[in-house]
Structure 1
Amino acid sequence: MSTEKKETKNEIIRQKLLELQSEARTVRKIVLIIAIVLFLAVCIAALGGYIYIKSALKPVDPDSKTEKNIEIPIGSSVSGIAQVLEDDGIIKDARVFKYYVKFKNESGFMAGDYKLKPSMSIPEIIERLKTGKAMQEVIFKITIPEGKQLKQIAGIIAEKTNKNEEEVFNKLNDKSFVKTLMAKYPDILTDEIMNKNVKYPLEGYLFPATYPFYKEHPTIEEIVSVMLDKTKSVLKEYTGQMEKKQYSVHQLLTMASLIEEEATEKADRDRIASVFYNRIKTGMPLQTDPTVLYAKGKHQERVLYEDLEVDSPYNTYKHKGLPPGPIANAGTMSIEAALNPEKTDFLYFLATADGDVIFTKTLDEHNKAKAEHITNN
């Protein structure tokens, strides 16, 4: 090949390389332009979204002094509440409200009739709905003490509402009624409460507290729903600890009820809890007298030896482990003791006549304490 031809060929190759380089530069420019455009579009969308959300979180009308009557029906979801508030002009956007509630992990909204203003901020609205500061004056209150059983609670409700005690108790144990509540409160009312050995499904689930009511004649469902709202709100605080211990709500409330029923005013609930856990760990039956009385269905000052033979899955002298379900309601002190028992070697405890509790490690020590502090009649 002549020198001239070689030079011509090289020139053609050089020209093609220059063309490819030029095309590559053009492609890079186009890609860069597209990337910049997309980036700007995302930034504009994000900025627009931020501005919109920021605006949606502000009061609808900061200067408004108008109060609106807002009804939050029983069983309303967060989405339902948000839609009611948007429809009534209390918030700007139901979706923003719903996501704000979820982001802030808010819960425990209470049904009722409220007076709300378009000038209120979302945190103010949430606080009002959580505390149940309704528009009406309190008509009456129902106080449920700690350690009360479902029969006793039915009596308290009946007395405060002028209802028939037996009818109230029967309603609380009506299967269709309980299943309706289970559908509303799936996080706390699980299938465990419908176990065939469970005496009363709602036993232990109506939290001890004072409940204000703003209607003269609330239904049993409305009354119980307020109590279950409280139970759900309280237990939410212990979700992490329950998961760590692999405790279901039912198991936790069952153990807490045993602690509640055994505790005196002077009792160390954490230490009582340790005895129960130590017994379970060593394979001993819990042997707690309140379960025997619960199985018998009546109150006695003392449990007799013949009572220990009662044929019931609740009899912890005959059956190891926890009973089928709670035997009463329990307060936060007993719930916390069930989750955080003291670390001890105690296997026995004895309540004296003056309310002190003596803890011992062996049966011999327990019997000596019994002989010293318990008078046989």
Structure 2
Amino acid sequence: MNPKRILSIVSVLILLVATGFGVVVYLKAFTANTKFNQDEVFVYVPTNSTYDDVKKIVAPYVENMEKFNFVAERRGYSASVNPGKFLLTKGMNSFSIVSSLRHNVPVKLAFNNQESLGKLVQRLSSQIEPDSLTLTEVFTDSTFMAENGFDKENILGMFIPNTYEFYWNVSPIKVRDKLAKEYRRFWNEERQAKAKALNLTPQQVTALAAIVHEETAKVSERPRVAGVYLNRLKKDMPLQADPTVIYAVKRESGNFDQVIKRVLFNDLKINSPYNTYVHTGLPPGPISMPDISAIDAVLNAEKHDYIYFCASVEKIGYHDFAATYEAHQVNAKKYAEWVGKLGINR
């Protein structure tokens, strides 16, 4: 056979093989390969996962694992797995799936008004990889707390309610350090100066703000409520804040999930440093995580002569304030009668 003809035939065969291989590659790499109905899903790859682990994680969302594996191996992903949170979209092909598994998606970490450190770490661990036990350990590390002016009673005050951006597989230390940095940024020179003018430390302001936060959900009323408690502190009067008693009951029982709508007379006798009916001054730490408006309400408290307040029966959600015990008794009687009619016993 003519050598030129042989060369032509060989060239055609090579072209056909190449074309066939190209078609195979295209079908495996660039055709849709998902099997979920949602527009998008997130998959989570834990730290130290192997490629076999990843295949198990993505299998519920991938139509053809052979196609996925084909691309993953040829793109080197099978030998270099990345931990984190990853986005898959409906109709993705295998090439795009592997690409997505290399792009860690940030997590918007949010928390507010947690009643205890235990509640907080549960909230955090539900959004990022580190578990609640590990987070508790790094937050309560004795060296860290000492360096930042905290102890186990007031460490909850370090956390400023907000939304923070982390990667899902972030280390516990990075979480702690970023939140501590945010705390220091929040307590700028202006806020520290206002706290000093009240003769309070930032930790004490936070402890008082937590009480104010629990006393009223009305942001506009918080500066007035804060003013009442500051007046009591100046007079060395017990704060007699019902939310501290409720916290003490929950803390003593270890059950922060119970709902207590009414403080009973026997509750006022509970032997707890958080019971402000028994102890004067501020409790040793915050009874909850106050939001920024409550902290600023203390720092910018309304100046007045009120030293008493009671829930209003006319403006639900608000309070009636009094400068004398006699006036307060009138307000308290109206409230007690109203509660009695509602039949609230606890």
Bin the TM-score by the shorter chain.
0.5 to 0.7
Q: Which amino acid aligns with 2:298?
A: A
- Per the alignment, residue 334 of structure 2 pairs with 372
Does residue 171 of the first structure (1) align with residue 171 of the second (2)?
no
Provide the C-alpha distance between the structure 1 equivalents of 2:186 and 2:306, rounded to a whole number of angstroms.
Answer: 30
Q: Rate the CA distance shift 1:260–1:178 in 2: closer, same or farther, 3 A.
A: farther
Q: What is the match of residue 228 of structure 2? A: 275
Report Cα offsets for 1:191-221 as digits up to 9, x if no partner.
xx33xxxx534122111001111x2311222
Aligned residue type for 2:306: F
Cα deviations by residue, 1:102-124 (Å, 9 ceiling, x for unpaired): xxxxxxxxxxxxxxxxxxxxxxx
Structure 2 residue identity aligned to 1:159: S
How far is the alpha carbon of 1:281 from its aligned partner? 2.1
Q: Superposed, which structure 2 residues align to 1:171-250 within 5 Å?
A: 171=137, 174=140, 177-180=141-144, 182-183=146-147, 189-190=148-149, 193-194=150-151, 200-213=153-166, 215-236=167-188, 237-250=190-203
Question: Which amino acid counterpart does residue 143 of structure 1 have in structure 2?
Answer: A
- Residue 322, structure 1, aligned to residue 278, structure 2: no
| TM-score under structure 1 length normalisation | 0.55
CA RMSD of aligned residues (A): 2.4
Q: CA deviation at 1:320?
A: 0.6
8 Å contact kept, 1:149–1:328: yes
Moved more, 230-239 or 143-152: 143-152
Shift in Å at residue 311 of structure 1? 0.6
Q: Does 1:262 align with 2:212?
A: no
- How far 1:322 sits from its partner (Å)? 1.0
Change (3 A) 1:217 1:336: same
- What is the SS of the residue equivalent to 2:126? helix
Q: CA deviation at 1:182?
A: 4.0
Aligned to 1:338: 298
Preserved CA contact (<8 Å) 2:216 2:317? no
Query: Partners in 1 of 2:112 and 2:176 — Cα distance?
Result: 15
Deviation per CA, 1:238-273, whole angstroms, max 9, x where unpaired? Answer: 132233334322222222222222221365111001
Q: Which amino acid aligns with 2:293?
A: M
Alignment partner of 1:350 out of 310, 334, 342: 310
How many residues are paired up?
227
1:313 equivalenced with 2:280 (yes/no): no
**Structure 2 CA distance, aligned partners of 1:211 and 1:344?**
37
Q: What's the counterpart of residue 61 of structure 1?
A: none
Q: Which runs of 5+ in 2 are unaligned?
A: 1-102
2:111 counterpart (140, 144, 147) = 144
Contact 2:241 2:276 in 1 (8 A): yes
Per-residue CA deviations over 1:19-72 (Å, capped at 9, x if unaligned) read xxxxxxxxxxxxxxxxxxxxxxxxxxxxxxxxxxxxxxxxxxxxxxxxxxxxxx
> Which residue does the alignment assign to 1:158?
125
Give the distance between the partners of 1:201 and 1:169, measured in 2 at CA.
16
- Report deviation, 1:302: 1.9
Point out the structure with max Rg over C-alpha.
1
Distance 1:271 1:201, change over 3 A: closer
How far 1:355 moved relative to its partner?
A: 1.0
Give the letter for the 1:367 counterpart. Q
Q: Which AA in structure 2 matches 1:202?
A: I
| d(CA) in 2 for partners of 1:293, 1:368 | 24
SS of structure 2 residue aligned to 1:275: helix
| Other structure's SS at 2:119 match | helix
Residues 172 and 202, structure 1, Cα contact 8 Å, conserved in 2:
no
- Secondary structure, counterpart of 1:143 in structure 2: strand
**Amino acid in the other structure paired with 1:290:** P
Going from structure 1 to structure 2, the CA distance change for 1:233 and 1:270 (only over 3 Å counts) comes to: same
The aligned runs of 1:86-165 (5 Å cut-off) are 138-146=105-113, 148-165=115-132
Matched residue, 2:322: 360
Three-state SS of the structure 1 residue aligned to 2:320 is strand
> For the Cα contact (< 8 Å) 1:252–1:338, is it kept in 2?
yes
Q: What's the secondary structure of 2:226's corresponding residue?
A: helix
Equivalent-residue separation in structure 2 for 1:172 and 1:308 (angstroms)? 35
**Is the CA contact 2:216–2:318 (under 8 Å) kept in the aligned structure 1?**
no
TM-score normalised by the chain length of structure 2: 0.59
